[in-house]
Amino acid sequence: MLTRDQSLHLLTEKLQNQNLRRHCLSVEAVMRALAVNFEADPEKWGIVGLLHDGDYEISKDDPKQHTILMHQWLTDMGETDADILSAIISHNFSHTGKNPPHNHLEWSLYCCDELTGLIVAVTLVQPTKKLADVTLENIMKKWPQKSFAAGVDRSQIAQCEEKLGLKLEDFISLALSAMQQIAPQIGL
Ligand SMILES: [Fe+2]
Ligand SMILES: [Fe+2]
């Protein structure tokens, strides 16, 4: 399995946009916290989160290639961990038609991907624009406001209840706390 350092190196080599890098770091943090919650391997789940969008810039004009490129790069580098390879592919199944999420690792990635965006959006409307000042209540207040962060697919996040057995508020709370712990690294 690739180390975290190797994964970060690959990410920074392939992804230049700072916001996208921060998105990947956010998903990594939430995935690590979810791994702890499910008594799984935080290192492995973190790497899945860190790398899930690593080919986003290069595949942006061809969404069908998103995740397929990363899968290829990882395979070329000698990654053989089937959980990692499969989980990365699974989050773009709507475009690739390949491997819809089917376990806790894959559903965790699928559900938290959009949630990190919502948490960033809620942070940016706080007076201080600091993650440290965001509360679960701040997020839940914005949850039903469809015009707020309209690009965030709430239904994808809400599947945490059915697919992960986590109440929405508990899922959001876990993600918020994970992101707060890396706030300086994501500029918030
Ligand atoms: Fe993606
Ligand atoms: Fe993503």
CATH no. of 4-97+104-183: 1.10.3210
Listed residues: CB within 5 A of ion ligand 1: 53
* Every domain of the chain and the residues it spans: 4-97+104-183
Distance 159 CA to ligand 2 centre (A): 16
Q: How much is the pTM? A: 0.97
Distance 138 CA to ligand 2 centre (A): 22
Distance CA 88, CA 79 (A): 13
Distance 46 CA to ligand 1 centre (A): 15
pLDDT tens string 122-167: 999 999 999 999 999 999 999 999 999 999 999 999 999 999 999 9
- Ligand nearest to the backbone CA of 112: 2
Distance 53 CA to ligand 2 centre (A): 5
| Triad 123, 40, 139: Cα angle to 5° | 20
- Averaged pLDDT, 80-107: 97
Query: Quick one: the chain helix, strand, coil %, rounded to 5?
Result: 70, 0, 30
Whole-number pLDDT of residue 154 = 97
Distance 129 CA to ligand 1 centre (A): 25
Name the average pLDDT for the chain. Answer: 97
Whole-number pLDDT of residue 149 = 97
Distance 127 CA to ligand 1 centre (A): 30
Give residue 104's pLDDT band: very low, low, confident or very high (50, 70, 90).
very high
- Ligand nearest to the backbone CA of 65: 1
Distance 76 CA to ligand 2 centre (A): 22
Distance 99 CA to ligand 2 centre (A): 17
Distance 156 CA to ligand 2 centre (A): 12
Secondary structure (3-state) at 155: helix
Token couple for 118: 């919502």
pLDDT tens string 27-62: 999 999 999 999 999 999 999 999 999 999 999 999
- Ligand nearest to the backbone CA of 120: 2
Distance 56 CA to ligand 1 centre (A): 7
pLDDT tens string 7-19: 999 999 999 999 9
Tell me the CB-side half-sphere exposure of residue 147, using CA atoms within 13 A: 0
